[in-house]
Amino acid sequence: MWEQKNTLIAITFVLCLNVIWALNAMAQSNQSSINITRTGTMSFVTVPTSLDFGNTPIPTQKTATFTDPVLGGSGKLPVARLLTVEDAREAGGFIVTLGANANFTDGASNTIPISSTAPNDNLRIVTTPLVDEPVDITGTTTNGVFYVDTFSGPETVTANINTAASGTNDFGTASTFTSVSNNVLDTATPVEVLNGTLASTTGRLGHMAVGIAGMLYIPAYQASGAYSATLTWTLTDSTT
């Protein structure tokens, strides 16, 4: 008998605690909330392969070299020069910049400056929508930017260093690069390649692309060697 009574008391005690917790919860206020997040992503789909200026004899005067001096009569850059951004957030915009970490150097500590005082700016880049696309890619071109496939949203991305080059040898001609403003790389300030800034109340869904070409001035009597430099593409949010 005593054992059964103790068991009943214990069970009743547990039930009372449950009721008290419920009453306390009912007496407290609730705060409702919702967190709005960007469900889409923003990323590079493609970046240009290494900008290769090839081989050149030691010049006796400052000489321009090019990543794409011969285009085989197509007037377009090869698909390896394609820079493609995907923005699927449908809220806000982005900026793409290209920066140089250091000057061109070889194994013997010789250097080719990335940039110097004008008009001796050594490394310039330009963008163009003229790229040999795969045959299954379609889209529209607006202000120098190629909007790929089923793009939606405002086609308002600015290609800041776009060139109107269209001829066979334009990407092997210095004037194509020197006629564009703010396209000189240096080791302090990146070049703003694309500006797709948008308000948070609007956005884009799809892929945007440009081709990239480069020109490098080789100083007179530059020491022979295999020179290289690191260039960094950066994609950042730019939402107002």
pLDDT tens track for 132-182? 765 456 788 898 999 988 889 999 999 999 987 766 668 888 888 998 999
Between CA 160 and CA 194 the distance in angstroms is 6
Between CA 174 and CA 143 the distance in angstroms is 22
Confidence of residue 118 (pLDDT cuts 50, 70, 90): low
Between CA 150 and CA 225 the distance in angstroms is 47
Span 103-110, average pLDDT: 90
Of all residues in the chain, what percent carry a pLDDT higher than 70? Answer: 75
Between CA 62 and CA 70 the distance in angstroms is 21
Of all residues in the chain, what percent carry a pLDDT higher than 90? Answer: 45
Q: What is the pTM of this model?
A: 0.79
pLDDT tens track for 10-69? 222 333 333 444 444 455 555 666 665 556 789 999 998 888 898 899 999 999 999 988
pLDDT confidence of residue 155: 92
> What's the chain's average pLDDT?
80
Confidence of residue 188 (pLDDT cuts 50, 70, 90): confident
pLDDT confidence of residue 149: 80
Within 10 angstroms of residue 65's Cβ, the number of other Cβ atoms is 16
